[in-house]
């Protein structure tokens, strides 16, 4: 899938008139505000830094159209990071108004940014979000007092539930649209932090809040005991849900659908008006688009993709991932990265593309490169994982465990090597722990839908393309010709049947296609399956990944990763085969 | 009994001196006396004179967990060693 966020670095956006900026600290719910106000859907998560670039949408106020821009979350406007530089550029681009979202549970820091925004003298409406969570933590905020202290309207909201939006829109509507009527905020005397703390202590009213079960669980999960066992349990349960659930979904629903309904239907349909020959075979033959297309995409890949996003989106929204980063920072640090990069790497288990884009949150280029390379080398995307699960299902679940260990070992090796080879430093982890939350049903559902749609739209094309290539190669006899030349590698070195050549060719287009053809080969041994799986795991990232590597870094990085993955795939898998042969 | 109290007193007095955050005792409140000039730390309020509550230190080179205002932050060992605090 391409991306969860629009990437439109377009200079024209700064020129636009009628801009309203949505700003605030990371993880205060800006993306939820954006979805609510524009009806456009953006992915939000419960950790800092989901929006690494801006998103624009249109919102209506009193019958007029405005452009709402979801500016990346920032803690300050000192332009120390890429996100902050973007935020400053937007503030200077003559916006009509700013909607600044404040997190009620972290008043000091949020008020500080709120005050910092005032130096641009743009009208501001403050949304005081998460008032429900603050209340549970025993904090109530005197909204009127806060509004007086900030010199601008403040509206309490619970964004995920849509509470407070009527009042918010009403306040935005009051903002005069003529530039001459700009407010002049009085400059803050002295230090911003001191002033922010002063305001926070004035407006905060302590009430008796009762920590909920989730609040207490969130605290417990941060301690090594019982945090680490809980984390491992959650990971195991997630894997179980994805692997087991995927298998069940496949066996009960999708395989019968494909084998008994879809394939026979299209076979009969095309056979009724197309004469036998190459064309018919390309459509419904052994590698036919309408046979393989359904079998691989619907029965093989889809159930796992769906369940992965069901589980992962839940973990993202709950606030589990930052806790995991904290618990495992020690280990990650020894590998030359930091705990926070775990979130990005885990994203890669879904798809490498959003993971590589997400690595923008890394503070140094070195860290970005290490994360991206580790994902390209050792992290199978969920489509590929689905194919691997199906491949190993015929043998022993042990193979899947071995493959997982191999994947972790490869990742660790890549990180270790690159952290020593690449010059520069990786910054230590600094991560804010969000509240542990039960994901909001509506936001969660939206995100899941968006991701599935993204997968279907972005993956379908390249998948069909690779299936077309497969069908073409098979039907024209080209496959056999190529196979002869690659035989020494495929059969001699890797010990795979010669039909496996097609996996190597298709694997360039899509990662799971380096596995799927192996499923069609009869009489594969467990060793051959594992060697084939190893090649696929380490093999070239797919075409979309090349594209994103070239875009986010440069062509040199993309080629370097491409060449080294291909070589290491053949090398490692070959060695596994040769060593295993010695013992058999 | 008396001896034990003395030990406790000594421990407390060692905390009132300047000490780096990483090795400072868990579960106590500190005032930051020196912090690296890093954007993200500044943004989160880890600046000179900030009052922080150190919660715990993770073993094996893990981070330090602390509370500042109402916000919980984990800071990697390499930064935590550069932040100086006094009790």
Domain ranges of chain B: 2-86
How far is residue B39 from each of residues A221, B43, B64, measured CA to CA in Å?
Answer: 28, 6, 18
- The pair of structure tokens assigned to A123 is 């009208």
Residue A301 confidence (pLDDT) above 90: no
Tell me how far apart the 2 most distant CA atoms of chain B are, in Å: 48
- The pair of structure tokens assigned to A578 is 């040769």
Evaluate whether ipTM surpasses 0.90.
no
Q: Are A324 and A342 in contact (CB under 8 A)?
A: yes
First to last CA, chain A: 41
Helix axes A107-117, A143-150, angle to 10 degrees: 30
The domain boundary residue, chosen from A158, A183, A210: A210
User: Is the Cβ pair A106, B70 closer than 8 Å?
Assistant: yes
A215 within domain boundaries: no
Residue A38 distance to chain B (closest CA, Å): 29
| Model pLDDT for residues A303-350, shown as the tens digit of each residue | 998 999 999 999 988 999 999 999 999 999 999 999 999 999 999 999
A2 within domain boundaries: no
Angstrom distance (rounded) from CA A463 to CA A207 = 57
For chain A, percent of residues with pLDDT exceeding 90: 43
* Close Cβ partners of A415 (under 8 Å, ≥ 6 residues apart): A335, A336, A337, A370, A374
How many Cα atoms sit within 13 Å of A421 on the Cβ side? 9
Q: ω into residue A173 within 30 of 0, thus cis? A: no
Residue A5 confidence (pLDDT) above 50: no
- The pair of structure tokens assigned to A234 is 């959650």
| Residues on chain B touching A78 (C-beta within 8 angstroms) | 39, 42-43
Give the chain A residue whose CA is nearest to the CA of B64. Answer: A326
Q: Are A5 and A53 in contact (CB under 8 A)?
A: yes
| Residues on chain B touching A427 (C-beta within 8 angstroms) | 38, 76, 79
Count of residues for chain B?
A: 87
Angstrom distance (rounded) from CA A545 to CA A553 = 12
10 Å Cβ neighbour count for A235? Answer: 14
Regarding whether A168 and A262 lie in a shared domain, the answer is no
Residue A277 confidence (pLDDT) above 90: no
For A437-470, give the DSSP string: -PPPHHHHHHHHHHHHHHHHHHHHHHHHHHHHHH
| DSSP 8-class letter at A171 | H
Higher pLDDT, A177 or A69: A69
User: Is the Cβ pair B75, A429 closer than 8 Å?
Assistant: yes
Residue where the block lists tokens 């009127």:
A144
Sheet bearing B84-86, strands edge to edge: A430-433, B71-75, B64-68, B51-57, B28-34, B84-86, B19-20
Angstrom distance (rounded) from CA A470 to CA A468 = 5
Interface test mutation site (partner B, options A429, A433, A434, A435, max chain B beta carbons within 10 A)? A429
Considering only CB atoms, A108 lies closest to which of B38, B69, B78, namely: B69
Regarding whether A455 and A316 lie in a shared domain, the answer is yes
With cut-offs at 50, 70 and 90, classify the pLDDT of residue A494: very high
Which residues make beta-bridge pairs with B51? B31
Regarding whether A151 and A231 lie in a shared domain, the answer is no
* Close Cβ partners of B7 (under 8 Å, ≥ 6 residues apart): none
Regarding whether A260 and A160 lie in a shared domain, the answer is no
User: Is the Cβ pair A428, B40 closer than 8 Å?
Assistant: no
Residue B26 distance to chain A (closest CA, Å): 13
Nearest alpha carbon to residue A98 among A19, A156, A157, A158:
A19
The domain boundary residue, chosen from A146, A177, A210: A210
| Model pLDDT for residues A162-216, shown as the tens digit of each residue | 899 999 999 998 887 665 567 778 888 788 888 998 999 899 888 777 778 888 9
Nearest alpha carbon to residue A32 among A460, A509, A447:
A447
What is the average per-residue pLDDT within A28-52?
71
Regarding whether A157 and A17 lie in a shared domain, the answer is yes
With cut-offs at 50, 70 and 90, classify the pLDDT of residue A569: very high
Nearest alpha carbon to residue A430 among B77, B24, B30:
B77
Higher pLDDT, A162 or A13: A162
Residue A259 confidence (pLDDT) above 60: yes
With cut-offs at 50, 70 and 90, classify the pLDDT of residue A496: very high
A1 within domain boundaries: no
A23 within domain boundaries: yes
Considering only CB atoms, A330 lies closest to which of B45, B56, B58, namely: B58
Regarding whether A270 and A193 lie in a shared domain, the answer is no
Residue A268 confidence (pLDDT) above 50: yes
| Residues on chain A touching B70 (C-beta within 8 angstroms) | 105-108, 137, 139
Q: What is the pLDDT of residue B54?
A: 96
What is the average per-residue pLDDT within B28-46?
88
Residue B19 confidence (pLDDT) above 50: yes
Number of domains in chain A: 2
| Model pLDDT for residues A223-247, shown as the tens digit of each residue | 999 999 999 999 999 999 998 999 8
Residue B14 confidence (pLDDT) above 60: no
Q: Determine the structural domain holding residue A141 and report its residue range.
A: 12-210
The domain boundary residue, chosen from A210, A243, A275: A210
Higher pLDDT, A151 or A47: A151
| Residues on chain B touching A207 (C-beta within 8 angstroms) | none
User: Is the Cβ pair A433, B78 closer than 8 Å?
Assistant: no
Which region among A24-38, A140-154, A326-340, B48-62 has the lowest average model confidence (pLDDT)?
Answer: A24-38
Considering only CB atoms, A330 lies closest to which of B41, B59, B69, namely: B59
| Residues on chain A touching B20 (C-beta within 8 angstroms) | none
Distance of CA B9 to the CA centre of its chain: 19
With cut-offs at 50, 70 and 90, classify the pLDDT of residue A11: low
A4 within domain boundaries: no
How far is residue A574 from each of residues A207, A415, A438, A519, A580, measured CA to CA in Å?
Answer: 66, 22, 47, 20, 10
Nearest alpha carbon to residue A501 among A549, B38, A488:
A488
Regarding whether A176 and A144 lie in a shared domain, the answer is yes
First to last CA, chain B: 25
Angstrom distance (rounded) from CA A476 to CA A401 = 39
What is the average per-residue pLDDT within A438-448?
83
* Burial class of residue A138 in the structure, from the number of CB atoms within 10 Å of its CB (0-12 exposed, 13-18 middle, 19+ buried): middle
User: Is the Cβ pair B79, A431 closer than 8 Å?
Assistant: no
Q: What is the pLDDT of residue A42?
A: 63
Domain of A36: which CATH number? 3.40.50.300
Regarding whether A263 and A161 lie in a shared domain, the answer is no
Higher pLDDT, A556 or A191: A556
Give the chain B residue whose CA is nearest to the CA of A201. Answer: B69
Regarding whether A455 and A350 lie in a shared domain, the answer is yes
CA angle A107, A108, A111 (to 5 degrees): 80
What is the average per-residue pLDDT within A16-27?
87
Q: What is the pLDDT of residue A582?
A: 92
Give the chain B residue whose CA is nearest to the CA of A192. Answer: B45
Residue A376 confidence (pLDDT) above 90: yes
**Topology at the third CATH level for domain B2-86:** SH3 type barrels. (2.30.30)
Helix axes A397-421, A526-538, angle to 10 degrees: 30
A216 within domain boundaries: no
Q: What is the pLDDT of residue A7?
A: 40
Q: What is the pLDDT of residue A331?
A: 94
Q: What is the pLDDT of residue A178?
A: 61
Regarding whether A245 and A161 lie in a shared domain, the answer is no
Three-state secondary structure call for residue B29: strand
| Residues on chain B touching A334 (C-beta within 8 angstroms) | 61
A5 within domain boundaries: no
With cut-offs at 50, 70 and 90, classify the pLDDT of residue B64: very high
| Residues on chain A touching B40 (C-beta within 8 angstroms) | 75, 80-81, 363, 430
Q: Are A460 and A297 in contact (CB under 8 A)?
A: yes
Regarding whether A344 and A393 lie in a shared domain, the answer is yes
User: Is the Cβ pair B43, A108 closer than 8 Å?
Assistant: no
Residue A366 confidence (pLDDT) above 90: yes
For A361-500, where are the alpha helices, taking DSSP H only?
365-378, 382-393, 397-421, 441-476, 478-487
Identify each DSSP E strand in A120-210 by its residue range. Answer: 124-129, 139-141, 154-156, 204-206
Q: Are B74 and A431 in contact (CB under 8 A)?
A: yes
Regarding whether A281 and A166 lie in a shared domain, the answer is no
Quote the mean pLDDT of chain A.
87
What is the average per-residue pLDDT within A249-256?
90
With cut-offs at 50, 70 and 90, classify the pLDDT of residue A469: confident
Residue A85 distance to chain B (closest CA, Å): 12
């Amino acid at each position: 899938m391409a991306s969860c966020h629009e990437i439109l670095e377009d200079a024209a956006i700064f020129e636009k008139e009628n801009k309203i900026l949505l700003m605030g600290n990371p993880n205060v719910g800006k993306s939820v505000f954006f979805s609510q106000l524009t009806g456009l859907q953006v992915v939000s998560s419960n950790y800092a830094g989901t929006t690494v670039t801006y998103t624009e949408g249109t919102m209506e106020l009193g019958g007029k159209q405005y452009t709402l821009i979801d500016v990346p979350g920032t803690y300050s406007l000192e332009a120390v990071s890429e996100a902050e530089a973007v935020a400053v550029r937007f503030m200077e681009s003559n916006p009509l108004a700013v909607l600044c979202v404040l997190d009620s549970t972290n008043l000091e820091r949020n008020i500080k940014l709120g005050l910092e925004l005032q130096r641009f003298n743009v009208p501001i409406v403050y949304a005081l979000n998460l008032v429900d969570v603050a209340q549970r933590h025993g904090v109530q905020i005197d909204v009127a007092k806060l509004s007086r202290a900030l010199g601008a309207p403040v509206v309490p909201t619970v964004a995920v539930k849509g509470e407070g939006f009527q009042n918010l829109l009403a306040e935005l509507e009051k903002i005069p649209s003529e530039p001459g009527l700009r407010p002049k905020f009085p400059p803050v005397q002295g230090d911003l932090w001191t002033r922010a703390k002063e305001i926070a202590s004035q407006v905060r009213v302590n009430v008796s809040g009762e920590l909920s079960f989730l609040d207490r669980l969130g605290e417990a999960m941060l301690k090594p005991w019982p945090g680490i066992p809980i984390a491992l349990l959650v990971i195991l349960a997630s894997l179980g849900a994805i692997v087991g659930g995927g298998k069940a979904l496949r066996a009960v629903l999708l395989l019968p659908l494909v084998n008994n309904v879809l394939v026979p239907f299209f076979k009969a349909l095309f056979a009724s008006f197309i004469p036998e020959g190459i064309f018919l075979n390309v459509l419904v033959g052994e590698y036919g688009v309408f046979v393989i297309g359904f079998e691989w995409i619907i029965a093989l890949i889809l159930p796992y993709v769906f369940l992965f996003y069901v589980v992962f989106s839940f973990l993202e929204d709950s606030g589990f991932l930052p806790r995991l980063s904290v618990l495992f920072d020690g280990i990650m640090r020894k590998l030359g990265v930091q705990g926070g990069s775990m979130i990005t790497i885990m994203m890669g288990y879904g798809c490498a593309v959003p993971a590589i884009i997400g690595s923008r949150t890394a503070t140094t280029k070195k860290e970005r490169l290490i994360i991206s390379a580790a994902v390209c080398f050792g992290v199978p995307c969920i489509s590929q994982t689905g194919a691997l699960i199906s491949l190993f299902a015929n043998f022993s679940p042990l193979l899947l465990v071995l493959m997982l260990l191999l994947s972790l070992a490869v990742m660790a090796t890549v990180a270790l090597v690159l952290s020593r080879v690449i010059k520069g430093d990786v910054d230590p982890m600094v991560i804010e722990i969000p509240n542990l939350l039960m994901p909001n049903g509506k936001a969660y559902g939206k995100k899941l839908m968006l991701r599935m749609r993204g997968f279907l739209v972005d993956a379908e094309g390249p998948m069909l393309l690779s299936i077309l290539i497969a069908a073409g190669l098979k039907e024209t006899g080209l496959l056999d010709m190529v196979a002869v030349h690659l035989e020494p590698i495929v059969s001699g070195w890797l010990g795979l049947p010669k039909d496996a050549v097609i996996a190597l060719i298709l694997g360039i287009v899509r990662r799971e296609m380096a596995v799927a053809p192996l499923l069609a080969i009869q009489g594969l041994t467990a060793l051959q399956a594992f060697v084939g799986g190893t090649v696929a795991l380490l093999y070239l990232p797919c075409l979309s990944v090349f594209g994103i590597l070239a875009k986010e870094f440069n062509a040199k990085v993309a080629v370097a990763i491409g060449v080294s993955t291909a070589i290491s795939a053949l090398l490692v898998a070959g060695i596994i085969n040769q060593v295993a042969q010695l013992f058999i | 009994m008396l001896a034990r109290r003395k030990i406790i007193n000594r421990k407390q007095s060692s905390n009132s001196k300047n000490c780096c955050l990483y090795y400072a005792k868990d579960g106590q409140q500190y005032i930051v006396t020196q912090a690296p000039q890093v954007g993200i730390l500044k943004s989160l309020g880890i600046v000179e004179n900030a009052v922080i509550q150190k919660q715990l230190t993770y073993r094996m080179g893990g981070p330090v967990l602390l509370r500042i205002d109402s916000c919980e932050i984990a800071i990697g060992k390499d930064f935590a060693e550069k932040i100086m605090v006094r009790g």
